[in-house]
Amino acid sequence: MPVKKITISEFIALSKQHHVVDVRSPGEFTHAHFPGAYSLPLFTDEERKVVGTAYKQQGKQKAIKIGLEYFGSKMNQMIEAAEAICNEQQISTKTILVHCWRGGMRSAGVAWLLDLYGFDVYTLIGGYKTFRNWTLQQMENPYQFNVLGGYTGSAKTEMLHCIRAAQHAVIDLEGIAHHKGSAFGAIGQSPQPSQEMFENTLALQLYQQTQHNLQQVVWVEDESQRIGNLNIPHSLWKTIRNSPLYFMDIPFEHRLKFIFQQYGHLEIQSLIDSTKRIEKRLGPNETKITIQYLKENNIDAAFSLLLQYYDKMYLAALQKRDNVQSKIKRFVFNEVEPDQNAAALITQLKDNNGTIN
């Protein structure tokens, strides 16, 4: 069966059931890639540089000859790697989706080899560049969001997971970003992805949740535009900011207890370092007192000061929204109980609106 060239929509649809292999160099893949793709590089980073230089200085044919020298010695290795990818998930079919940067010679060469060996091969027209353009287009869509808000310690992320478990569409922005959003949000998290990778994953999840139906309501957590070192794309963030906000109003002391459970076991120096990062906004005196509490292992007192700071910050950000009173709906809960509060929220929305997406 000959290699088949497919559009980005066909590529994304097929990626749900077949493996995607990215034949760009390791450096290109590490920076950002199609979520879930496997790296099967035709060239190393150095080899890619050599071939590219030859192409610019000596022409296409010289670059091809150099590339073939690299490729020839790797053919058997690439076949075995492709077989291992298919066997990893115990998928009987040998169907593979292949792409490079622009759908050019790298993907064509690997696709030819895999097809020759007996794989069913599809290549993405326009390569990864086409996917990136698709990603950026997704950020412009008029999505319908329900925004879950509340002061720090309200267990918003945990509530989102409960809402997802109840079969509602959810995007966990902090989960994709590998960061909990505050100055303390990187502690215990894996390294954040690149901005490009963050956008790729976010775009694909949005597409999967809405499934061509932009009227599908998607739940997200109320976030600032910046999550750690990453930014929610501006168009998407504006859409989120103009969406209905469901504010969880939970007593301070219960939120403080929840924060202690989440962060109280962390290494003291990490907490001190994170506190120092917000010194300008927290204030020099408050920072000094908080750090002293941490050094004395008086975690509860330190977190109490920090929680008061974050409450003020959140309230100030809330009041800066346009027409906030028309968008916000307040729900009062006595405890931080994510599963119970999520169920109560969904029930109240059903009772008020007759239906909930």
| Residues that are catalytic | 100
The one-letter amino acid code at 251 reads P
Residues in the chain: 357
Going by C-beta distance under 8 Å and a sequence separation of 6 or more, which residues neighbour residue 213?
A: none
With contact defined as beta carbons under 8 Å apart, do 23 and 41 qualify?
yes
Residue 224: enclosing H or E segment and its boundaries?
none
CB atoms inside a 10 Å sphere around CB 125: 15
- Copy the structure tokens of residue 276: 């120092």
CB atoms inside a 10 Å sphere around CB 239: 19
With contact defined as beta carbons under 8 Å apart, do 153 and 258 qualify?
yes
With contact defined as beta carbons under 8 Å apart, do 243 and 329 qualify?
no
d(CA 120, CA 4) in angstroms, rounded, equals 9
Is the sign of the CA dihedral 226, 228, 231, 232 positive or negative? Answer: negative
d(CA 176, CA 15) in angstroms, rounded, equals 19
